[in-house]
Amino acid sequence: MRGGLTAAENAAIRATNAILDLALNAPDGAPVAVAVSGGGDSIALLVIASAWAARAGRPLVALTVDHDLQPASAGWCDFVAERATTLGVRSRTLVWKGEKPRSGVPAAARAARHALLAGAARDIGARVVLMAHTADDALEAQAMRSAGCSVPTPRRWSPSPAWPEGRGVFILRPLLGVRRAALRELLRRCGERWIEDPANEDPRYARAAARRRLAEQATDPPTPPKVRREAGWAAVVEGAAGDLGAPRASFAAPGGRQLLGAMLLCAAGGARPPRGESLERLLPRLAAGERFVASLAGARIEASGEAVTCCREAGERHRGGLADVALPVGEAVFDGRFLLAATEPGWRVGPLRGVVKRLPEADRARLAGLPAAARAALPVAVSPAGDYCCPILRQSGPVVARSLSLNRLQAALGGFTDEASLWRVAQTLSGA
């Protein structure tokens, strides 16, 4: 592949391979997934990653999503499958089924895409999904934020934003230092083809508008953001009820806003972080030493003295996670916060609120030792015979549970630099 390439193109391949060599080093050699849309960026990543995987001896699986939004989308997926087969890579096509929203289509499609990719990655035993975000994507994110959009800058490593489908699944973006034009020139020299999605040029979408503005000006690629451990992370502790606590001073340090947002998100078990303006209103109150209780994004925050605690707001039912549901045999996630394992059929799970008196005396005694604010949102399991138990309080039995809050927070803020360093957290989050 490299014989007819320029020095710059070979340098881009070497740099990407170096990132893959350093980043992908799990001790068990698990499969690696690569998200491929058929566009130039993802086809370039597929070409580079397939050669790397063959050399490294790692199984590679190409995952493509049919959003069913374009008449040609099924053909695009067939194209990806054909290119993957030619490169010696297994492929799977994932379809976004069901009714599509009339507005907010890009955001809904992105959420569906991440959920499908995460679920497929878990199915094949992959903890890492490669994505083809480039230096241009980082520039576009900057342009979109300047236009008033709340778009994060893509990071080299990040946990899957799909929750709980994406627990234990991480995203690696090895092309953040490469420009889109260079990748397309590389593909031309390799004789590769790719698909141009007309949505990329649709001015109704914020990213397409940002892309058009950037094409009209000379811009240097941004330096990929450095992976760093957020301030205050080491001071966070998890309570027996899945509540998260940290010293008040942690939120005054650099990264304090990110820490608070992540604590609230993980304590609530949601998929969408609190709004930035809402966090900004809380930070001065924390800095002033104020004692208060507030609810935000499904979480409850209590500040008293030097301690700040975040837990699930039991009175918040808008998200629907606190509804009673059937508990399958095997693993299931309750309210995005607890991983439950049932060994018998017929059990149901719901919130503890209103049924404490139905618990066995031993469970009620243990419950008294947990923070009062966190008790009502704990999972309660009900047997087919109508017997109640609180599985988070038990070490064994037909239903047991453990909290995901702290491990999820570590995944969000832990500053991972390679696959080996996230391996243990991925094992814990995935229930393996």
Residue 1's pLDDT band (cuts 50, 70, 90):
low
Q: Please state the rounded mean pLDDT for residues 38-56.
A: 96
State yes or no: pLDDT of 27 exceeds 90. Answer: no
Same structural domain for residues 186 and 237? no
Verify that 34 and 177 share a domain, yes or no: yes
CATH at 240: 3.30.465
pLDDT of residue 323: 81
Q: At what angle do helices 7-23 and 180-190 cross, to 10 degrees?
A: 110
Residue 225 lies in a domain: no
Full-model pTM: 0.87
**Residue 247 structural domain:** 233-316+407-430
What is the predicted pLDDT for the residue at 228? Answer: 47
Number of domains in the chain: 3
Cis omega before residue 371 (within 30°)? no
* Confidence category of residue 353, pLDDT binned at 50, 70, 90: very high
Same domain, 187 and 252: no
Percent of the chain with pLDDT over 70: 86
Higher pLDDT, 426 or 16: 16
Comparing 7-11, 278-282, 385-389, the range with the smallest average pLDDT is 7-11
pLDDT tier, 100 (very low <50, low <70, confident <90, very high otherwise): confident
Residue 221 lies in a domain: no
Q: Tell me, yes or no, whether 90 and 164 share the same domain.
A: yes
* Mean pLDDT computed over 58-70: 94
The reply to whether 309 and 416 lie within a common domain is yes
Same domain, 413 and 399: no
Please indicate, yes or no, whether residues 387 and 335 belong to a single structural domain of this protein.
Answer: yes
Residue partners of 263: CB distance under 8 A and separation at least 6: 236, 244, 246, 299, 310, 409
- Distance (Å, whole) CA 290 – CA 106: 40
Residue 342 lies in a domain: yes
Q: Compute the mean pLDDT over every residue in the chain, rounded to the nearest whole number.
A: 87
Q: Are residues 354 and 396 in the same domain?
A: yes
Mean pLDDT of 223-246: 73
Does residue 298 lie in a domain region? yes
Residue 101 lies in a domain: yes
Residue where a domain terminates, one of 215, 248, 276: 215
Does 65 share its domain with 79? yes
Of the CA atoms within 13 Å of residue 152, those in its CB half-sphere come to 12
Is 139 or 16 the better-scoring residue by pLDDT? 16
State residue 321's pLDDT score.
65
Could you tell me if residue 284 is inside a domain? yes
Question: What are the backbone dihedrals phi and psi of residue 312, each rounded to the nearest 5 degrees, phi first?
Answer: -70, 135
Position 233 scores a pLDDT of: 65
Let me know: does 138 contact 154? Beta carbons within 8 Å.
yes
Q: Are residues 397 and 416 in the same domain?
A: no
Residue 227 domain-assigned? no
- The CATH number of residue 138's host domain is 3.40.50.620
pLDDT digits (tens, 9 = 90+) for 112-165: 999 999 999 999 999 999 999 999 888 887 776 776 676 678 889 999 999 999
Position 123 scores a pLDDT of 95
Inside any domain, residue 2: no
- Phi, psi (rounded to 5 degrees) for 157: -115, 140
Least confident of 148-157, 280-289, 383-392, 402-411: 148-157
| Integer CA distances (angstroms), 182 to 13, 188, 189, in order | 11, 10, 11
Identify the domain boundary among 157, 188, 215: 215
Q: Give the C-alpha separation, 135 to 149, whole Å.
A: 19
**Domain final position from 186, 215, 244:** 215
231 has a pLDDT exceeding 50: no
Residues 396 and 420 in one domain: no
Q: What pLDDT is attached to residue 117?
A: 98
pLDDT tens per residue across span 155-213:
899 999 999 999 989 999 999 999 888 999 999 988 999 998 666 655 555 555 556 56
CA distance 122 to 102: 30
> Are 181 and 36 in the same domain?
yes
